[in-house]
Amino acid sequence: MSRGFVREDDQEEAPFIPPRAALPDGVTNYVTQRGLEQLQAERKALETERSAVRGSDDERRRSHAVIDGKLNLLNERIVTARVVERTDGPMDDVRFGATVTFEHQTGPQRGKQFTFTLVGVDEASVKQLRIAFTSPIARALMGNRVGETAEFQLGSVVQLLKIISIY
């Protein structure tokens, strides 16, 4: 049918599907075992939500479109996920899966210590003290050993971060 014979108010706006956490092009989707389990639980919850959708045909169709869009993005992450096994005990250097404590040696936070675990982009949560391995601060810390200092560019200021412990 020609588009000229379709009423404008019959046109349905495409649903907005929020994007997942950014994973830079060409970067492997590393996850912890915990991260993979979270992704799988999220998929199960979305599938349950989809099967429970009620309402008119239009409401169900819109809800299904949003949920299906989320499932497509999520399934892409699950398929590309590469689990990195955590080694038990202390680590020699900062790497994916490590929990690292560091102290600001310079800058406005000088003397403050922070402890974060380096995780995959989908399980990162500053509130839970988990930062994505792709974040600038994680990249600055990676490869360093206890006692070493890493340079971290924050705006126009270079801050020095001293590694206190890695486990």
pLDDT digits (tens, 9 = 90+) for 113-141: 999 999 999 999 999 999 999 999 999 99
Instruction: For residues 109 and 132, state if they share a domain.
Output: yes
* pTM metric for this prediction: 0.85
81 within some domain: yes
Evaluate the CA torsion angle 50, 35, 123, 21 in order and state its sign.
Answer: negative
33 located within any domain: yes
pLDDT given at position 92: 92
Q: What's the confidence (pLDDT) of residue 5?
A: 54
Question: Does 81 lie in the same domain as 103?
Answer: no
Same domain, 107 and 160: yes
Q: Is 162 found in the same domain as 104? A: yes
Residue written as token pair 């800058």:
107
- Which residues are CB-contacts of 71 (< 8 A; sequence separation ≥ 6)? 43, 46, 47, 50
Whether pLDDT at 6 is above 90: no
Q: Do residues 35 and 20 make contact, with C-beta atoms less than 8 angstroms apart? A: no
| Same domain as 74, residue 36 | yes
The number of folded domains in the chain is 2
Write the pLDDT tens digit of every residue in 42-96: 999 999 999 999 999 999 999 999 999 999 999 999 999 999 987 777 789 999 9
| Whether 73 and 106 share a structural domain | no
For residues 77 and 110, state if they share a domain.
no
Q: Which residues pair with 151 in a beta bridge?
A: 160
pLDDT of 26 above 90: yes
Q: What is the CATH number of the domain that holds 143?
A: 3.10.50.30
Same domain, 36 and 81: yes
Rounded to whole angstroms, the Cα distance separating 99 from 118 reads: 6
Domain membership flag for residue 12: no
Confidence of residue 9 (pLDDT cuts 50, 70, 90): low
What range defines the domain where residue 65 resides? Answer: 28-85
In this structure, are strands 113-119 and 157-166 parallel, antiparallel, or unpaired? unpaired
Count of residues making up the chain: 167
104 shares a domain with 74? no
